[in-house]
Amino acid sequence: MQKVAHRSSEDEQWQELKEQCRLRDNGLCRCCIILTPEEIQQRNKQGIPQYLFTPCDVAHVESVGQHVEKTYDLDNVVYMCRADHDALDSFRSPVTGKAISKEEHQYWWDRILKGSVPNKVNNNNSNTVSSYLDQGPTKPRFDPEAWLDS
Ligand SMILES: [Zn+2]
């Protein structure tokens, strides 16, 4: 089998997928947007950076190691900031940075996948940042710049 530079800058299929993923997820980290204000506060205290409004990269839901056929599957990727991507890849909590169990890892992925599907976000989540994003289909009601400054 020819050695192809999968997921490199020359991999056009990958670049295309990344762009589709970015557009679908509104250019926002799917993990950052599901955090509650308390979790964000907790994370800030740990000094874990968050890149909610800066370019992220693409994270696989089911790892490519186990599901190579899902490498280019848009349904198997989410847009995610580097900090969260690294945390989840290495089984650490995106909030505390501490090691998490397989179950907790699954819990985070469940939250990420549920929290970011606009039609499925229920109104009880009024404390989450994503609920603000849900206020309008294209324009968040809060100002990202102001949010980052605070
Ligand atoms: Zn993030």
Q: What is the whole-number distance in angstroms between the Cα of residue 78 and the centre of ligand 1?
A: 11
Q: How far is the CA of 69 from the centre of ligand 1 (A)?
A: 26
Contact in structure between 52 and 140 (CB atoms under 8 Å): no
Q: What is the pTM of this model?
A: 0.71
DSSP state of 74: G
The mean per-residue pLDDT over the stretch 73-98 comes to 93
| pLDDT at 84 > cutoff 50 | yes
Between the CA of 2 and the centroid of ligand 1 the distance, in Å, is 35
Confidence band of 44 (pLDDT split at 50, 70, 90): confident
At a CB cut-off of 8 Å and minimum separation 6, what does 9 contact?
Answer: 15
pLDDT average, residue stretch 22-26: 92
Q: Is the pLDDT of residue 105 over 60?
A: yes
Q: Which amino acid is at 146?
A: A
pLDDT band for position 4 (cuts 50, 70, 90): low
Between the CA of 66 and the centroid of ligand 1 the distance, in Å, is 24
pLDDT at 120 > cutoff 50: no
**Are the C-beta atoms of 78 and 58 separated by less than 8 Å?**
yes
